[in-house]
Amino acid sequence: MATTLTAAAATAVTLLLLIPLSDNPVTAVVLVFLMALTGFTVNPVVTSLAVRFAGDAPTLTSALTTSAYNTGIAAGSAVAGRALDSRLGLTGPVLVGAVSAALTLLPLIALTLRAPSRTPGISAAHTTPVPARDDAVPSPRH
């Protein structure tokens, strides 16, 4: 959850900074790079979490997660396009992205506050010996 929260917050901040700082080409390129970096950090983490809790349907869960991302991309693009045509002009799409990223924080914070805290400790080790595979590559001896 820490990765997801941090990435969503960083995406929102980066997009908000893009509004006043996009006049300078160098700053704009750096901020767009940071936006892409922070924005795409969440996807593999969330997909991994969804698959972990998928039970007997990890493939279906992965497909649905990817479909949800693509639906969000399409919806976000449509809303950002409308904002571009509005009196917001060039700041419209960036503002839509910043609001979307900020709204992402609400359920993430709720999930974080709801999740039980884990106390650090020693976890049980797998005690059953794992049989050697015939096709296993032997380890080099030093």
Contact 101, 8 (CB under 8 A): yes
Report the pLDDT value the prediction gives residue 33, as an integer from 0 to 100.
93
3 state SS of 53: coil
- Using a 10 angstrom Cβ sphere, with 0-12 exposed, 13-18 middle and 19 or more buried, the burial of residue 69 is middle
Q: Residues in the chain with pLDDT < 50?
A: 121-124
DSSP string covering 78-130: HHHHHHHHSTTTTHHHHHHHHHHHHHHHHHHHHHHHHSPPPPP-PPPPP-SPP
Tokens (6 digits) for 27:
């700053």
CA torsion sign for 20, 24, 27, 31 is positive
> What pLDDT was estimated at residue 139?
54
CA-to-CA separations, 141 to 136, 137, 138, in angstroms, rounded: 15, 12, 9
Q: Cα(131)–Cα(39) distance, rounded to whole angstroms?
A: 43
Task: Give the model confidence (pLDDT) of 88-125 as tens digits.
Answer: 888 888 889 888 888 888 888 887 888 665 555 444 45
pTM comes to 0.65
DSSP conformational letter for 24? S
